């Protein structure tokens, strides 16, 4: 990847979900977000992705804002104190009307329908057919009967068939189906707007044209590109999917790994430079951990190859 391949003066975002404490995996994402934005003279939006009302908690949000301050990570908008002050256009739970309006708009250009399928519906279909459901629709064929929209039913949007392709800044040319697991769920059975809908709506309304996130979300990109087009975004954002910190068994680090919680590590005496160096080494940007300042990160990323 070269600086020339980045959008000029891009807007990107750091968008944690307050379902637990920030950990070293978030620090990897922050390195790529702040590092690439700095290289390209870009701006960084801080967004709280708390669309999942059952898992997100205000105390986790407060902790992650404190951790960002302690790390010295300063977004261009909003300031962390702005989010502490009350409702914000950068907190998903405060902006349900934006997602409601997006679904109404989708209904004008695509089929949006209520769905009774649960995880167990998909599991039963897999057991009966020997493979997971894939492609448009859903196992219950919920689109056909025109079920009433209720808060205990999901909502899906028919994105059509086919694939979307893009040239990823970090992993190279990519392509994938837009409906790998069925028509896209935009509201779940608990009444939550889904990640897939919220990030597309928010990136458009916040002017984000560079999406930097973990490689575990590569498969989600085709449906989000298609969804954005249906919502009027003719040119999708540029994507950059970075490597993840992995456990020994190959699974990605998660908030359940309390030993890597940023706040706990800082409380134990680690410095931000110690943690940045540790995170960089965990994803192969350094041969071994050493203290690394935030000002060192852009140069480190400039030397990284695809």
CA distance 246 to 64: 22
Whether the link from the prior residue into 126 is cis, omega within 30° of 0, is no
- CA 222 from chain centre, in angstroms, equals 14
Tokens at 248, concatenated? 């020994």
Identify which of 19, 22, 4 has the alpha carbon closest to the alpha carbon of residue 267.
22
Q: Enter the DSSP assignment of 206.
A: T
3-state secondary structure of 196: helix
Tokens at 203, concatenated? 């990136």
3-state secondary structure of 46: strand
284 burial class (0-12, 13-18, 19+ CB within 10 angstroms)?
exposed
CA distance 18 to 53: 10
CA distance 60 to 67: 10
Which is catalytic among the residues 255, 260, 297, 301?
255
**Pairing mode, strands 184-187 and 154-157:** antiparallel
- Are the beta carbons of 69 and 38 closer than 8 angstroms? no
Query: Is residue 255 among the annotated active site residues?
Result: yes
Catalytic residues: 255
């Amino acid at each position: 990847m070269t600086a020339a391949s980045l959008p000029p003066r891009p807007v990107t975002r750091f968008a944690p979900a307050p379902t637990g404490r920030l950990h070293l995996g978030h620090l990897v994402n922050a390195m790529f977000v702040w590092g690439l934005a700095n290289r390209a003279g870009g701006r960084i939006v801080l967004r709280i992705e708390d669309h999942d009302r059952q898992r997100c908690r205000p105390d986790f949000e407060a902790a992650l804002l404190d951790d960002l301050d302690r790390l010295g990570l300063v977004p261009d908008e909003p300031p962390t104190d702005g989010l502490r002050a009350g409702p914000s256009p950068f907190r998903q739970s405060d902006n349900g009307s934006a997602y409601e309006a997006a679904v109404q708009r989708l209904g004008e250009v695509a089929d949006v329908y209520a769905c009774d399928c649960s995880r167990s519906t998909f599991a039963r279909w897999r057991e009966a057919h020997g493979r997971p459901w894939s492609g448009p629709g859903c196992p219950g064929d919920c689109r056909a009967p025109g079920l009433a929209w209720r808060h205990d039913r999901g909502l899906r949007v028919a994105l059509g068939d086919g694939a979307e392709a893009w040239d990823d800044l970090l992993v190279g040319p990519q392509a994938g189906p837009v409906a790998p697991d069925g028509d896209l769920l935009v509201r779940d059975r608990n009444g939550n707007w889904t990640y897939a809908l919220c990030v597309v709506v928010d990136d458009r309304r916040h002017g984000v044209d560079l999406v930097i996130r973990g490689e575990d979300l590569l498969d989600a990109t085709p449906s989000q590109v298609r969804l954005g087009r249906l919502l009027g975004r003719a040119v999708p954002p540029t994507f950059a999917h970075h490597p993840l910190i992995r456990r020994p068994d190959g699974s990605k680090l998660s908030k359940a790994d309390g030993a890597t919680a940023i706040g706990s590590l800082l409380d134990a005496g680690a410095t931000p430079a110690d943690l940045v160096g540790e995170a960089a080494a965990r994803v192969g940007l350094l041969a071994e951990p050493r203290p690394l300042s935030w000002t060192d990160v852009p140069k480190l990323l400039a030397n990284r190859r695809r």
